[in-house]
Amino acid sequence: PRDRVLEFAERMAGRPIEFGPLRAGPRDSATVTVQGDVRVPQLTDRSDEPVSFDLTLPVSLDITVDVLKANHYRADVEIPLVLTAQAADPLLIVIDVPPPAADDLRLEFKARGMRAATLGVLAGIKKQVLAQVAGVVREELSDSSGRTIDVAARLDSIA
């Protein structure tokens, strides 16, 4: 199962992330645009369970918050996930992944310029980034179709 889980994890690398422009702030006075991508995930075996893995999913985001003037931020987020491969009928492997809480995410956040740094503190942008990323991950994980491996189809393609 490790090879199948690694294949699942590696499919996420390079995946683009884009949303916005979104209206935010008091009276929707700010416009927020986010662009980024998923970098190469890191998969490690969990010693306590033979079909369970720790996955660190690194995501890089360029964030623009436009309030009278564009303010730019760089966010590098590490999303820790626990993946557990489970057998399902007929010849399926389903990867169970509980969604992380915003507090579980690690964030490196950099404002570009003094004005952006001040706005970032006043608007609590770091906290908002963590909440948004956790929400997107939760939404993505709600659909199990991308986490299901059809072993029978793979065996047929090899034969």
CA distance 135 to 31: 19
* Residue found by looking up tokens 């422009």 in the block: 21
At 68-101, the pLDDT tens digits run 899 999 999 999 999 887 777 777 777 788 899 9
Residues 34, 17 contacting (CB under 8 angstroms): yes
CA distance 135 to 12: 17
At 19-40, the pLDDT tens digits run 888 888 778 888 889 999 999 9
Beta strands in the chain (DSSP E): 16-24, 30-38, 42-45, 52-67, 69-88, 92-96, 106-112, 148-150
pTM of the model: 0.78
pLDDT on residue 151: 65
